[in-house]
Amino acid sequence: MKIHSAARTGPGGPAVLLALALAACAGAAQAGQAGVSLRDVFGNRGAAESRNTAAPPVARYVSETGAAFVLDRAAPQPLLKFENSAEVWVLSSQPAPRGDVIYKNELGEPVLRATKLGGMTLFTAERPGGDAAALDGRAASIQPPPFISVNALFQRLVQASARASRAAQHRVSFETVDDATPGTSVLVADTATVTAEAFERMARNGDRGLLSRVVRVLLAEGHKPGANLKGGDLTVTYAPGKGLAGRPSSKRIIKIVNK
């Protein structure tokens, strides 16, 4: 298939509260004699409670600057999607000091840092030093379906072409080089989506001169994901069997076009 295109107290309540207060004072005095502060006592309890509060495997977070994203850690390869973008980022994780975990993108750039207490830091081009992100609750999975229909694939390519054409300010066609199968349909569609995302990011960055060179996007099957620009043709290669990791990210495509 080739496609173009506050609690109440009862009786005796004050007496109970007084007894509790006296007990707390006695405990504080004992703690002081042992060289332990109240901050140590209650602080350690708070830390333990934080450790026991695990984030859902698929959760929504909001950064201090308002960037909202979904982190899906239910699959072997973590996925991340910002709410203002159609691209799903494939992340790799690696251990960091103090039991933290760093999540990196395809180019090896840090995207997230998760602490063992559940804290999260988001790294972006605008905030390379990091931006604290708070857990907002559970979210729906961003894992793709196993396959999509021929019509759905065609529509995805049409949408990608329209987005890329607007960004480049001239028509950019999207074509499949190899026959798409049910097993590759989702990957082909997502490859088109991230390519269009790359065009839009370049346009926002003022790189329209580079975009003017591209008149056609060819989606081709290969052994590893990548991109190649030759003349007016931008060939974007996807590798079946690797899930969403089988296609290049928008950042990699931009890097190729900028060569």
42 backbone dihedrals φ, ψ, rounded to 5°: -80, -30
Q: What is the pTM of this model?
A: 0.78
196 backbone dihedrals φ, ψ, rounded to 5°: -65, -35
pLDDT band at 53 (very low <50, low <70, confident <90, very high): low
DSSP 8-class letter at 172: -
Judged against a pLDDT cut of 60, whether residue 254 lies above it is answered with yes
Least confident interval from 16-25, 95-104, 154-163, 249-258: 16-25
**Could you tell me if residue 8 is left (phi over 0), alpha (psi between -120 and 50 degrees) or otherwise beta?**
beta
pLDDT digits (tens, 9 = 90+) for 129-138: 999 999 999 9
Percent of the chain with pLDDT over 70: 80
